[in-house]
Structure 1
């Protein structure tokens, strides 16, 4: 099966227990989704069942049949994740039931865009009753996104209306848009089992990307990589599976107890699990308690095929939310979840357990806060689906440049998508690049340059003789939260703007360079004169600097300059000789050795002006190091050539 032959939509069933979901799926597909012996025995669906639906026009859909019993609502939530079209099953003899309302709330909250209602078991009712129940369903749906959804009377037992359901689903799927499209592969795991001779197999709905045999994927939250041996769809091997399909993956070297339902598979490095995320939350109160929901209450949070405990904290001081109301909130989790921007989630009350609401992930890695301040503009843009506007607000509000990786992590999107959004800001002249990796706004870069220039001005006022300070020290002084690599790029921007100069690894202000250079020249003159007076018996650098009243750091810079000019000879960090005196000494030593003189320290003492070993030894060792002489034991000779 090729990539373009595959169905790219998933149909999910929903409805109260014993309303005929599995029977209708069997009538539509020829596949019995009840696969467990216990399901057969009890006559109810306990775990997710899967099938493939032929739409009759050459297209097909993957089908997820989910449990209807109230104790299995958690499985229903897992099955609803990734659904593009819903088949809401309501038995004509029962009508709308409590779990019908709860499942409908789940479908709404998970953002399922399209719904078809199958009014089953019409063979058990007279036509007038079927008409009354149809009116009730229309009334129920009128206040939901599914208002006007087709309601198809049918009977799985007699076959009446089954093909009408198929036709309605085919029509609904024409306008449906598959969810969860992105660059990387993401797949929540809903089943794990072992096949003799093959090993561990997992199944789930492929949320995004593609998957092929031989691909390497990352198991989350284990953060362990593994390889895929084979890919199957509806019991048939495929060379590639695309997003929107029910997929089975045979994993290499993974035991069944090392991965479990609720885990995630993803492109390596695509997702970083989080312990909190920002959302636009809606309180549904499916239990019809009428009571408001208090901020911070402990709840069950369902995302993908996993449920963890967490707390829903309303933002900006809001303490309660009435049924039907919505607000921005931060969900804080007791276990990490691999959420991404746009993912849907459900929350259920802690005890007794019922669906309380849910929403959509807006930021996957926000700061730990509930007071939004200016950040509300970012969340409003994300909630409206305008990612580009959200990125504009992010760049405007950040005090430092950010990378595509930073934005991808914050929103919970893949890095290529983040890079496109950031580059679009640059192309629109609202943003700018800083170096090769960072993005910012011109205003933020100007503020950073201004901070550098201000700090340099203060530094030079306190240190008029110094040309500048080390880059890391400058960063700590003016932009301590900025990454060092990013700060390097900002310094380069400051240099280009003539707000800074970099000399010898030090950053200084251009206006202060003249005074610093004059101070350095004066220090060099004083040090050079002093060294000339000492000849081959100079004091230490510390003593020399004190003698000529020059700051030690300035003395080192001045001597480095004199060394580059050949005016001084450096033996060590603390010992410098007059350059002319050293050259004269080298000439005298060369003459002695060429004329057969002894190459010992005693033999060269007169050539070195009779200086003591204290000065002669370090000087001779420096001659050895530079290659002027070669030492063999206690004797030195001139290097040949």
Structure 2
């Protein structure tokens, strides 16, 4: 089948309502497609799994229809179907009226923030006009205090075709004004079906929440993280080059089995954050069966998100003990299994026993640290996220006292890509917030934080010089551990750069020292080096390191440091760890060896010792040093050039 770009409106409409109120019959009458595809559904006459169809509306628009089960045992499937829809058809049978699952489905639509509904008053052929009018009034009254008070009610007799045109017109009116509920650049699609097509392989379907998918794209399956390639894309059974957010999509995946991709998983872009075992949220308690009940902090609930439901524990922030009907609080939900949650996602919670919808809300942070007591910074971040002000959230996150944030940190806090996190952070760099590090490894912090960290580095070095007056300074790793152990390498480097720029700290001889206190140590070290050179200068029998330490009345490590300084300055040559020669004397020794071998040929160590005029104790290390430098070559007992 040839493919093309699918340009029709990307809107998905779901059904909702009590069992046996005619949802599937209505969908078949509207679309010509029977959404009940399972043999068990045909045998029992009820919808068990989600059904899907394409609906053509007046004016030429086409939308996806998701038909959901109405039975109380299949509310989880209903929530999965309602996830990601942009509008709903609430189906109420005229001969039955509003029933328990009607109310529960309405609660789900409200909690998932589905913006608009149309009420289809079905089975109007089974009652008289007076009863239709009465039932319409009952529905109006039931919706009056909620978000759907203005919903249009359309009397329908699906089998006769009565009211279908009016219902389509009402839906077309919604579609003309409605935008897809999910936004953002990330490709994210919760999988509602996964199956194998002979000759093609694994196919998954779902409502594309956000982003774009095209044939040939490499995608990830979350939470497993498996990467796979999209072979082809279909919308309503028609092959397309690309699909966009809001479309009902089928993807044929390469190199993926049904065990790799299951209903409840997500198909995502490669840069979407990993699944999380906790999230912070705005949570509303709404028990449509028991208005006098309450939800206590620490309660275990069922958490429905996307097309998956897992168990989790609700923890209200800052000691909030419980929520009563229609109350809202900030909470952290800790999950038994990870979910692919991101900021702005909607979710529903259900009680464990008896199982029923009791609330839901909006994700504020999909990857928070474990906490139930909030700092002032935490409160500022969550408050900004609740207002969808990511720039303000980033600023509050960076302004947390003593925080130095990487781009990855900011991306995790805001649930955005690292590229987007860097862009947002750069927009707030200014009077108080500064950027540090390289473009490849940017860091963000307040000026005060970096100044405090730099001061801590300087004070640590002052203490070090006070307790170790003869030491030149500290290696960077040791200084990091002593001064700012909570900062990793790049964060410490940012603070160190400020300290170096201020001039409080200097880097010399491979160590870091305080600019003033370290200067004295460097002066003393130079004095020791000068004194050590006086012991080496012009002599053929310089003292070994322990002799230098004894003569200078210093420790052996300080003697090693003095001899090392002389080598770095070019005044001395290291023969081995314990023996150094005046560089000028060493050059004379080399010339003496060269001259002897050129005149006498291959020579014994004894002969070369006499030629150099040194003792045997010094001669052997010197000759071995000449071997190491490639000046001489040893062959048995003889040496040649």
Contact 2:189/2:210, CA 8 A, preserved across alignment? yes
Q: 2:566 is matched with which residue?
A: 562
**CA distance, structure 1, for counterparts of residue 627 and residue 278 of structure 2:** 65
**CA distance, structure 1, for counterparts of residue 472 and residue 138 of structure 2:** 83
How far the C-alpha of 1:597 sits from its partner, in A, is 5.1
Gap change, CA 1:569 and 1:252, over 3 Å in 2? same
**CA distance, structure 2, for counterparts of residue 389 and residue 600 of structure 1:** 81
For structure 1, list consecutive stretches of 5 or more residues without a partner in the other structure: none
**CA distance, structure 2, for counterparts of residue 189 and residue 182 of structure 1:** 19
Deviations 1:243-264 (A, max 9, x none): 1111111122222233221112
Deviations 1:126-185 (A, max 9, x none): 223222222222222222222212222222122222112112112212332313322221
Q: 2:343 is matched with which residue?
A: 341
Contact 1:538/1:577, CA 8 A, preserved across alignment? no
SS at structure 2 position matched to 1:74: helix
Q: 1:392 is matched with which residue?
A: 395
Gap change, CA 1:430 and 1:56, over 3 Å in 2? farther
How far the C-alpha of 1:551 sits from its partner, in A, is 4.3
Correspondence 1:207-286 to 2 at 5 A: 207-286=209-288
Q: 1:439 is matched with which residue?
A: 444
Q: Which residue, out of 154, 157, 163, partners 1:155?
A: 157
Q: 2:588 is matched with which residue?
A: 584
Gap change, CA 1:553 and 1:96, over 3 Å in 2? farther
SS at structure 1 position matched to 2:318: coil
**CA distance, structure 2, for counterparts of residue 357 and residue 420 of structure 1:** 36
Gap change, CA 1:301 and 1:457, over 3 Å in 2? same
Deviations 1:485-540 (A, max 9, x none): 2322321232223232222331222223431321121010121122348633532x
TM-score (norm. length: structure 2): 0.95
**CA distance, structure 1, for counterparts of residue 562 and residue 396 of structure 2:** 49
**CA distance, structure 1, for counterparts of residue 520 and residue 89 of structure 2:** 81
For structure 2, list consecutive stretches of 5 or more residues without a partner in the other structure: none
Contact 1:536/1:578, CA 8 A, preserved across alignment? no
Q: 2:639 is matched with which residue?
A: 636
SS at structure 2 position matched to 1:89: strand
Q: 1:468 is matched with which residue?
A: 473
Deviations 1:390-434 (A, max 9, x none): 1111111152322222222233333333222212212x5442211
**CA distance, structure 2, for counterparts of residue 386 and residue 525 of structure 1:** 64
How far the C-alpha of 1:378 sits from its partner, in A, is 1.4
Q: 2:511 is matched with which residue?
A: 506
How far the C-alpha of 1:100 sits from its partner, in A, is 0.9
Contact 2:451/2:495, CA 8 A, preserved across alignment? no
**CA distance, structure 2, for counterparts of residue 96 and residue 170 of structure 1:** 25
Q: Does 1:616 pair with 2:627?
A: no
Correspondence 1:105-184 to 2 at 5 A: 105-184=107-186
Contact 2:633/2:640, CA 8 A, preserved across alignment? yes
Deviations 1:179-232 (A, max 9, x none): 332222111111111111111111111112111222222222222212221111
Gap change, CA 1:173 and 1:419, over 3 Å in 2? farther
Contact 1:400/1:482, CA 8 A, preserved across alignment? no
SS at structure 2 position matched to 1:606: helix
TM-score (norm. length: structure 1): 0.95
Deviations 1:39-96 (A, max 9, x none): 1222211111111122222222111111111110000011111111122111222221
Greater CA drift, 111-120 or 518-527: 111-120
Correspondence 1:448-487 to 2 at 5 A: 448-487=453-492
Contact 2:6/2:240, CA 8 A, preserved across alignment? no
**CA distance, structure 1, for counterparts of residue 309 and residue 493 of structure 2:** 44
Structure 1 vs Structure 2 CA RMSD: 2.0
Contact 2:226/2:260, CA 8 A, preserved across alignment? no
Contact 2:538/2:585, CA 8 A, preserved across alignment? no
SS at structure 2 position matched to 1:354: strand
